[in-house]
Structure 1
Amino acid sequence: MPVTLPSSRKLRALLAYLALAPRPVSRSRLCELLWDVPNDPRGELRWCLSKLRAALDRPDRRRVETDGDMVSLRLDDVHVDALDAAAAVAEGVETLDLVRLQALSQHFAGDFLDGLELDRSPHFGSWLTAQRRRFQSCHIAVLEHIIGLVPQGADEAGAYIDKWLELAPFDGRAHVALLGNLARRGQIAAAEQHLATAAELFHSEELDFAPVREAWREIKSRQSSPQPCARETPTFTLPQAQGALDEPDASATRRASLAVMPFAEDAVAFRGGLADGLTHDIITRLAKLRDFFVIARGSVFALAEKDVAPEEAGRRLNVDYVAMGSVRNLPGRVIVSVELVEVRTARILWAETFERKPDDIFVVLDDIGNSIVSSIAAEIATVERNRALLKAPNSLNAWEAYHRGLWHMYRFTRQENELAQHFFNEALKLDPTFARAYAGLSFTHWQSAFQRWGDRDRETALAFESAGHSLLVDDRNPAAHWAMGRALWLRGEQDGSLLELTSAVDLSPNFALGHYALSFVHSQSGDPQSAIGSSDHSRHLSPFDPLLFGMMGARAMAHARLGEYNEAAEWALKAAARPNAHIIILAIAAHCLALAGRQDEARTFAATLRNTLPNYRADDFIATFRFDRDAEALFRNGAKLIGLN
């Protein structure tokens, strides 16, 4: 039933903020949010909380909860429309059926908290603006997916398209949807008229209208050609932001795309501050990874200067993902908040808040930038891998086949490795200029040689050959130099290997696998202290990496070479505990535990090795790596202690 709230706008704002807060909020944060230095902010907060309790609490149900300094609402038995919409988007709009989508669309009516702006509450104003943009983006995602499910050409579809255009007048997909709907209803003249009007609208904002015009040509050509009897309605898509219209096989060479919008900075009314510097740094570092298409700085800053919301900018630029954030430089601390959003579904893929003491502001921002870049790259890779996994193998384009290959590659078994080779080869058939697919193919041959799944000399030669192709295609790609560095290690060319791996991390300091490979090489016959540093840095850049067991195993071997056997044993155990750790990681654990005097644990790992490889000996362990003489003698001694000699 309706609940009568006091007329206080601050109280209503407090209720809304607490309802959407994912966790309890401190009183100091609420005071900072809603009161601009009043005489007694905590007193006013207590008054608001007492009024909320009177309105929401029941004798048998306490909904306004306070625990020391923290405040929260208990809403587990309450339906909240905004939370319902947010949960549906988090679940995945594309997974919902038409009935659920239509029910969700009814939640959206006007702006979020329409009319609840507060004077002299800048932090609440920023939060409110962000929420309005977020829910508008959710609304658009719901509309777009409804349009894909309702009968095309029907009046109902037209109503949803009109609403989509009202919310996002510069979204090319909305215009393409309208043109397709009009064409299917035989209203070609109306479609041509809309095309001309939309072209003027886009040109007034200096936006590229060519993709929409090209999509209209395709729609007309399909309408004029004989239609199949199948009931499915063809869909029309826009080329991607990177100018795919210029490529005849654009669908085959499609890559994921990202726009990093300028970070907002509190209390700064001009461009060029810390937030802009951080944004520029993130864009540059992501571009250096060369893993996906990154919109240039000029384009995103131009849209930001027109006050275009990040989610809307993503739709205008026709990218897959948008990253956005804010920087708050407070006395004694710097707070950076960031989100990564999937544009078509409005789903927040990753969000994090970094808080640091600004002892050296540029070092702090550099560290935060490293974490942001690595997290964004990892999240996009995970989403793209999962999406490719759900598609039929014969329907994959080069990008999808590559990510399907990665998924199999990271299973670390012989059968999965062969499947990874298949998908990397499929990717290269579709796009022979795909440097990372060559690097992935090289890695699979490297694994076959390293794990003795095939003839070592032959697999080494194939790893070297594939890495060479990767460099020929794109010698600025860090993955190409990484693949070559690993291949040269297989060939016993340590100096050349270190040069290539150093080139990989010089090209992209955020390339975690490059730092790990440096650790791997140094852990055996190079500088063990450098191996430890590179291992730590690779794990800092990619704390959930599929190769985390290798990063830990390399550190274990480095500690053993330094005579730090207890540390070696602990890191080896951590490596072996990883769910995808393979047999060689178990061998590292057995030898390091033996050197640490933990014979019972070492023999357990040795028994596991013998169950898989009955004739496994120290010679097999030594032959796997490229140890110097001292390290070889050290690990042979460890093998003797547990009967592996």
Structure 2
Amino acid sequence: MGAGVVSGVESNLTSSHQGLSVRLFGPLAIVRNGVPVVLPASRKLRAMLAYLALAPHPVGRGKLCELLWDVPNDPRGELRWCLSKLRAVLDEPGRRRIETADDTIALDLDGVSVDVLDVASAAAAGIEALEPARLQALSRLFVGDFLEGLEIDRSPLFNNWLTAQRRRFGSCHAAILEYLVKTLPADSDDTSAHLEKWLELTPFDSRVHIALLTRLARRGQFGACENHLASAAQLFQSEELDFSPVRHAWLAIRAERHCATLPAQPVTAAAANQAPITLAETEASTPHKASLAVMPFAEDANSGIRGGLADGFTHDIITRLAKLRDFFVIARGSVFAMAEKNSAPEEAGRRLNVDYVATGTVRSTTGRLIVTVELVEVRTARIVWAETFERKPDDIFSVLDDIGNSIVASISSEIETVERNRAMLKAPNSLNAWEAYHRGLWHMYRFTRGENDLARRFFGMAVSQDPTFTRAYAGLSFTHWQSAFQRWGDRDQDSALAYEAAGHSLLVDDHNPAAHWAMGRALWLRGEGDASLLELQRAVDLSPNFALGHYALSFVHSQSGDPQAAIGSSDHSRHLSPFDPMLFGMLGARAMAHVRLGQFDEAADWALKAAARPNAHVIILSIAAHCLALAGRLDEAKNFAAAIRKTLPGYCADDFIDTFRFDPDATVLFKLGAKRIGLN
């Protein structure tokens, strides 16, 4: 690929751009101040430039040699030659674009226009938040495949990376086109072009077919709709995919366009016998619960053979996530069937019509086990969460169990965060049950009286729309629990309401850990400590990855149960969910457990960590004041006491003691601490 190829793509570049431009969509090309730069013919030089451009960190020379050279005589010598040629192309007077340090290589791309980086940064920030003009500008960057025509013989690692990047940016392109179709005027020529390209990229995405049918129906082209429906149904059938969402949507579209009585050809006998339905009815019957597909993890040593360590690990993660019952998890058989068809994770996500896809690798090296995982939001092609876990495989099953715990808890937490933030962007009167629930969570985690009341309103909205929504009842129970705990109202009445809502949650789904969590906390409010522990233990038995269940066990044990068990449960809850909105409680429970063990210095340290959390409420500050006082750190303790009395002027030791269910010995200790700082 020489000067001729560069000239061939010149028209696709921004010739007016002053400075350096690198274009990786289509054949690789570089332009400086609008003039194409002639590159050496080496394919490996181009491959190295692209790999370094996308690398988030400096790359070791050894890794580049392994990536691009199939055991040549002198890989480092060839690498040095490539670097020297790249310097001649990229470096500027007084500025070296290629940085080398400690046997690593990195590109300085500050001020350089790189098309794929523009797309990647937009995807990371959230495509759905971009203006149509920005989306159109991004769409114009896709002039061809990523590094078009640049496969390298006998470089399987690079070719695998190249395939993954093409799939990644293909998903980004599809997401951009989808949002353009949604935001641009329906009758514009641009919308037609974007819709056609979206259909070309994702022919098995039911949403693009629905969008096309909607557009054709608005133009009165019902014959074209029927023709498209028939051909699309055949396409889906060839891949053994469910076409019913598209068919049902078409019935609703046709009804809305007042054409139910038109002489249209029936799609199927079953469809012809169905009564006309409205689009609103279709949307109401569509599950709004978030959905997730965990694609089979790849195992480097397995060479694509199924049934190894990675497959077992994938199955375990699917099972654990399903036990959380937070969202709909695609069954193992479906995702493995997709993998057998060599579907990319993002493509599989669109085919399965899910909101999120998790994928990863399991790799064994000498003395290390490395697991990487990514969580992708399918519709925006945005990487929501990514992590690499590296452990010594002393006990392989124990290590995988620990890593699996972290992955499951993190996926659940990240999806909840995304759904919570999305729900906050919608008008309250437009929320469905799932969105109202997550809007309630957002307010609940603010831990103020006013926000707690708002949370209760949204949880109530969720259960009124969906009386079978277990977690919404659990959230409703928590708002009443919080009101009783913080003494924002009538404690007895709030306790009764917390118990009632928890009971509804259990009646709806006795296998949901959140229902038992809500009931365990409600029983604690009622002074039924043993029954509370049984319910909370049931929650973590149902789902060992349920972080809030482990925290609640720590909370109860820290006051009158086993303080050592409280410390263990606190640590485990934080291991599962290190950035949890309830982190202050996890830390505070551990602090109270240390007090009961007579370990006052440790108690003070943990209590300070709890009080430092941004959403820590006045009871957490009170824990800190008492623990610091018992540790002899009186000045710090008095500062907390003063801060508490600014909010609650009459606050004293009895208020603190009455908030909890301490055993007699713990009560004596905390009263001693209060006396030292004038809170008695």
Q: Does 1:318 align with 2:335?
A: no
Q: Which amino acid aligns with 2:217?
A: A
Q: Does 1:438 align with 2:477?
A: no
Q: Does 1:49 align with 2:72?
A: no
Structure 1 residue ranges, 4+ long, deviating more than 4 angstroms after superposition: none
- CA drift of 1:252 comes to 7.9
Asked whether the 8 Å contact 2:45–2:86 carries over to 1, the reply is yes
User: Which of 158, 178, 185 is the aligned partner of 2:212?
Assistant: 178
Q: Does 1:297 align with 2:332?
A: yes
Asked whether the 8 Å contact 2:502–2:519 carries over to 1, the reply is yes
- CA drift of 1:41 comes to 2.7
Q: Which amino acid aligns with 1:400?
A: E
* SS of residue in 2 equivalent to 1:327: strand
Q: Which amino acid aligns with 2:529?
A: Q
- CA drift of 1:185 comes to 2.3
User: Which of 144, 151, 158 is the aligned partner of 1:110?
Assistant: 144
User: Which of 220, 224, 230 is the aligned partner of 1:190?
Assistant: 224
Asked whether the 8 Å contact 2:252–2:282 carries over to 1, the reply is no
| CA distance in structure 1 between the partners assigned to 2:55 and 2:120 by the alignment | 12
Q: Does 1:91 align with 2:125?
A: yes
* SS of residue in 1 equivalent to 2:152: coil
User: Which of 619, 643, 646 is the aligned partner of 1:608?
Assistant: 643
User: Which of 654, 658, 664 is the aligned partner of 1:623?
Assistant: 658
Which shifted more, 597-606 or 322-331? 322-331
1:89-488 correspondence to structure 2 within 5 Å:
89-224=123-258, 250=284, 254-268=288-302, 269-488=304-523
Which shifted more, 457-466 or 115-124? 115-124
1:27-42 correspondence to structure 2 within 5 Å:
27-42=61-76
Tell me what 1:8 maps to: 42
Tell me what 2:4 maps to: none
List per-residue Cα deviations over 1:5-29 (Å, max 9, x = no partner). 2211111111000001112112222
Which shifted more, 216-225 or 421-430? 216-225
- CA drift of 1:225 comes to 6.6
* SS of residue in 2 equivalent to 1:120: coil
| CA distance in structure 1 between the partners assigned to 2:495 and 2:511 by the alignment | 23
List per-residue Cα deviations over 1:135-163 (Å, max 9, x = no partner). 00011111111112233244432222221
| CA distance in structure 1 between the partners assigned to 2:97 and 2:283 by the alignment | 58
| CA distance in structure 1 between the partners assigned to 2:445 and 2:327 by the alignment | 20
- CA drift of 1:184 comes to 2.1
* SS of residue in 1 equivalent to 2:229: helix
Identity %: 76
List per-residue Cα deviations over 1:460-496 (Å, max 9, x = no partner). 1111111111000000000000001111111111111
* SS of residue in 2 equivalent to 1:341: strand
Q: Does 1:490 align with 2:490?
A: no
Asked whether the 8 Å contact 2:536–2:549 carries over to 1, the reply is yes
* SS of residue in 2 equivalent to 1:351: strand
| CA distance in structure 2 between the partners assigned to 1:111 and 1:249 by the alignment | 36
- CA drift of 1:73 comes to 0.3
Which shifted more, 426-435 or 365-374? 365-374
* SS of residue in 2 equivalent to 1:214: helix
| CA distance in structure 2 between the partners assigned to 1:36 and 1:273 by the alignment | 27
Asked whether the 8 Å contact 1:252–1:397 carries over to 2, the reply is no
Which shifted more, 572-581 or 455-464? 455-464
Tell me what 1:503 maps to: 538
| CA distance in structure 2 between the partners assigned to 1:551 and 1:628 by the alignment | 20
**RMSD (Å), alpha carbons:** 1.7
Asked whether the 8 Å contact 1:172–1:316 carries over to 2, the reply is yes
- CA drift of 1:69 comes to 2.1
- CA drift of 1:251 comes to 5.1
| CA distance in structure 1 between the partners assigned to 2:442 and 2:183 by the alignment | 30
| CA distance in structure 1 between the partners assigned to 2:69 and 2:399 by the alignment | 30
TM-score by length of 2: 0.90
Q: Which amino acid aligns with 1:73?
A: L
Asked whether the 8 Å contact 2:47–2:150 carries over to 1, the reply is yes
| CA distance in structure 2 between the partners assigned to 1:592 and 1:580 by the alignment | 19
List per-residue Cα deviations over 1:400-423 (Å, max 9, x = no partner). 111111111111111111111111
Q: Which runs of 5+ in 2 are unaligned?
A: 1-34, 261-278
- CA drift of 1:366 comes to 1.3
* SS of residue in 2 equivalent to 1:301: helix
- CA drift of 1:93 comes to 1.5
* SS of residue in 2 equivalent to 1:250: helix
Tell me what 1:589 maps to: 624
Q: Which amino acid aligns with 1:106?
A: R
| CA distance in structure 2 between the partners assigned to 1:612 and 1:55 by the alignment | 65
| CA distance in structure 2 between the partners assigned to 1:24 and 1:70 by the alignment | 6
